[in-house]
Chains A and B, each alone.
Chain A
Amino acid sequence: MIRFIAKRLVFAIPTLFAVSIIAFIIIQLPPGDYLTTLMADWASQGGAVEAGTVAAMRDRYGLDQPIYVQYFKWITGILMRGDFGISFDFGKPVTELIWNRLGFSLLLSVLTLCFVWAIAIPIGILSAVRQYSISDYTATFLAFFFLAVPDFLMALSAMYIMSAWFGQSVGGLFSPDYVDAPWGFGKLFDFAQHVWLPVVVIGLGSLAALVRIMRANLLDELSKPYVTTARAKGMSELELLLRYPVRLALNPLISTLGWILPAVISGEIIVSVVMSLPTTGPLLLRSLLAQDMYLAGSLILLISVLTIIGTLISDILLAITDPRIRLQ
């Protein structure tokens, strides 16, 4: 088991390396760099900048060097010193900006995953056991409906409904009073009051895929001979269902963790912008618009790391739950 995990970790290294290169290249793809964006900004505000200033700044940021040199400096900084570079836009080290937000992103993603699984598994079971019934069609229709509605629309409507009809404070993860308060029971309660709305909004979008996977897995398992064996033992239908086919149908669902996690994280970006959540999403969007390359590159890299860790976790979980994988 330890060897298996170690092997998986070793495999993750080249993947991360490739991701970092691709992230860097993509950020460089649009014409110009952070300074051209900055100049355009200044120019639109009526300011004029001397050509010498621009050249001096370009030299200071290292933007006049070839792209591979820039990449090399950035990646060695991360590996040697844990230094992700400087955000031009904020004028602060990237590390200072992102850790806090990364924590919230991760928390939000995990909560969303738990929510989606908790909803999708029972609905999937119901759909499979009552295949082609009204409840199957209703569940399927709703799941696809939420898949089809764009995230931002869902976020906006949810916020409108909550604030207009229920008078809840919406947007952000905390009430204004608690944003800068130290963690405590009150803050946690406030957080719980705020976090469920984005969790539901992001989660409903991923619901359809999981419901359909669970339904299809379970339909396969329901007709397997071991179900008949268990029935012949005299087990009640409900116990049988949960103990055997559902237990086996969960295994493929665990492996979906690897791709559901990135889907949740990218879905989170738009929702977070709309609901102004203190996660990495809005920061990434802003850094991309400003061509703030070190900030954007670091964010993409760290999100990829999270995804790879997610995949690793799903592999380990699968090995724990399925003896065929563990022992063969």
Chain B
Amino acid sequence: MSIMKSTILEVQDLQTVFPTRTGVFKAVDGVSFALNRGETLCVVGESGSGKSVTARSILQIVDKPGRIEGGSVLLTRADGSTTDLAKLDPRGREIRDVRGKEIAMIFQEPMSSLSPVHRIGTQIGEALRIHFGTAKQEQRERVLELLRQVEIPRPESAIDRYTFEFSGGMRQRVMIAMALACNPSVLIADEPTTALDVTTQAEILDLIKKLQQSHGMAVLFITHDMGVVAEIADEVLVMYRGKVMERGPVERIFHAPQDAYTRRLIGSVVKLEKKAEVRLARKPAPAGTLPLLDVRNLSLTFPSGLKAVDDVSLTVRPGEALGIVGESGSGKTTMGRCLLRIYDAQTGAIDYRRPDGDTVDIRTANKATLEKVRREVRMIFQDPVGSLSPRKTVGDIIAEPLKIAGMKGRELNDRVADLMQQVGLEPAWRERYPHAFSGGQRQRIGIARAIALKPRLIIADEATSALDVSLRSQMLDLMMKLQDELGLSYVFISHDMSVIRYMCDRVAVMYRGKIVEVGETDQVVNNPVHGYTRALLSAIPHPDPRNRRIHNRFRYDSVRTV
């Protein structure tokens, strides 16, 4: 950091409001902060805390009907001139000259934040045309250079491709290249890594850091993940319900937090740093127990020729939680779906032990058997919005599997009420529709539906990935409570090693369709054998700014090691 700290962006008492039917909602309520040249300021808070709206207010790109009601946003240029961005006309020439040229922005969802029908080269080059009127040929050269800077492989062919031809991490690189096009002095990054795997997240964070140093940019980084904050921030601003709870240097925020809310946020990440307390004392299942699920040599090749599941063998013991970890594209979700025959694996066996002791091979079971098995093996999905029908009340959603099983009348009502209580929802809310619930509550509805038929095994596919970190541990605690109450077994699929470490007894690491390592969670986490496992572990952001490690993480390169 330079000794001469000069403020480039100073926000004073910013107020952004959204008029609603019931009155005016203050999304940003008197927020003040300063961003210094070349530094990183992290704005952290849960969803709904107003951190995104704050970022958008700076560039006056708040979605309608939101508007800035008060405060100032002072941009100080290198030549000493200043402009109050909050006073400019949001559609006017002046603010447009700032956008993308002096202050650039990248967003959370790189898929929907880029146009699907325009080539990426066009989208990146556009900023150059708008601000400098750069000619086509020159534009193309600059875009190629940018693509090289953000380390996109084969820029010459990538430039003419469309967004859907790239992976999530590559799309985010495209976004970054777009933001860098005009050499901005401030980069606003709105949750740029939330939709990405931990390993990809680490790469993107690295890249932003590197570019920040080479371009001398100030970065305003918005995130809900305290781990990420600890890894990259110089200064931290903690927001809650539109207000600043605390701000200060990253050291102080983590090691001497003043505010109770800050402590809670840090606590929720630190909690996931180790195994859950309720699991510490748990004895492993006796060695002699017959497995509940015994998967042997399972393989699935898609018609495209992709080997999504490649000779996978694993066992789940009764009452056990088995974690499956791997990055997107590793085949873990496909494998989970094979277990319920949502996909048909071509070879191998999935032996499931029924309560009466018989084993059934799910892979080859007939329809009637499969129907019975599916009552005992249930699934929880990642997307708590998409997996609940918006036209059914919560009571109906939870009652559905029970109705199929033939339950009705008073018994059904009572059971639904019990289930809702069990997962921490008020039974009185049963008449409400899913949209009236928050993300965490929706996931509870999904869990209630899954446990309705008293299953024996639940396959949870990224069940906590769409949730804020603070909600994540709550959800995991709930799942463990249910596990103890109902004697459940879990197959817990996740890209996040920390949630698996928190609740799973054993873990299998999946990479490109294969299981590369399997063992007791403690052993795999503390003494990983396979290089890929080490890479995964070292990419987890560590919530301690004194011990930043993802920049020096272990990288696994299969091409080199194979």
Q: Give chain A's interface residues, CB within 8 Å of chain B.
A: 223-226, 228-237, 244, 247-248, 251, 321-324, 327-328
Contacts and interface: CB of A to CB of B under 8 A. Distances in A.
B516 interface: no
A234 B132 CA distance: 12
A83 B105 CA distance: 67
A328 B164 CA distance: 9
Given A228-B107, A232-B104, A327 B63 contact: no
A229 B107 contact: yes
A321 B117 CA distance: 8
A253 to B, nearest CB: 14
Nearest to A248: B117
Nearest to B93: A236
B411 interface: no
Given A225-B107, A324-B164, A232 B112 contact: no
Contacts of A321: 117
A234 B91 contact: no
A229 B107 CA distance: 8
Given A225-B107, A251-B117, A233 B61 contact: no
Given A231-B61, A247-B117, A327-B165, A236 B96 contact: yes
B107 A322 contact: no
Interface of B: 56, 59, 61, 63, 91, 96-101, 104-105, 107, 109, 112-118, 126-127, 130-131, 162, 164-165, 175, 178
Given A226-B113, A324-B117, A234 B165 contact: no
Nearest to B95: A234
Contacts of A244: 115, 118
Given A226-B115, A322-B117, A327-B162, A234 B61 contact: no
A323 B117 contact: yes
- Please provide the 6 A-B residue pairs with the shortest distance between their CB atoms, ordered closest to farther: A234-B99, A233-B100, A234-B100, A232-B105, A225-B113, A234-B96
Contacts of B99: 231-234
22 contacts: A226-B115, A228-B56, A229-B175, A230-B126, A232-B99, A232-B100, A232-B105, A233-B99, A233-B100, A234-B99, A234-B130, A235-B96, A237-B91, A244-B115, A247-B115, A248-B115, A248-B117, A321-B117, A323-B116, A323-B164, A324-B162, A327-B162
Contacts of A251: 117
A235 B162 contact: no
Contact of A323 (B96, B162, B178): B162
Classify the interface of chain A: helix, strand, loop or mixed. helix
A90 B101 CA distance: 74
A223 B118 CA distance: 18
Contacts of A324: 116-117, 162, 164
A235 B113 CA distance: 15
A232 to B, nearest CB: 4
A223 B99 CA distance: 19
A226 B107 CA distance: 9
A328 B163 CA distance: 12
A223 B164 CA distance: 20
A325 B96 CA distance: 34
B193 to A, nearest CB: 16
Contacts of A229: 105, 107, 113-114, 175, 178
Contacts of B100: 232-234
A251 B117 CA distance: 10
A232 B162 contact: no
B104 A224 contact: no
Contacts of B118: 244, 247
Contact of A232 (B61, B63, B97, B115): B61
B365 to A, nearest CB: 33
Q: In the complex, which of the residues A224, A235, A327 has the most CB atoms of chain B within 10 Å of its own CB atom?
A: A235
A223 B63 contact: yes
Contacts of A235: 96, 126, 130
Q: In the complex, which of the residues A230, A237, A247, A248 has the most CB atoms of chain B within 10 Å of its own CB atom?
A: A230
A322 B127 CA distance: 23
A233 B126 CA distance: 8
Given A237-B91, A324-B162, A327-B165, A232 B114 contact: no
B536 to A, nearest CB: 29
A236 to B, nearest CB: 6
Nearest to A328: B164
A231 B178 CA distance: 13
Nearest to A244: B115
Given A233-B130, A323-B162, A228 B96 contact: no
Contacts of B115: 226, 230, 244, 247-248
A228 B126 CA distance: 14
A153 to B, nearest CB: 41
Contacts of B131: 234
A207 to B, nearest CB: 26
B109 A225 contact: yes
Nearest to A222: B64
Contacts of B61: 228, 231-232
Q: In the complex, which of the residues A231, A234, A327 has the most CB atoms of chain B within 10 Å of its own CB atom?
A: A234
Given A234-B98, A237-B91, A226 B112 contact: yes
Contacts of B162: 323-324, 327
B61 to A, nearest CB: 5
A324 B100 CA distance: 27
B405 to A, nearest CB: 39
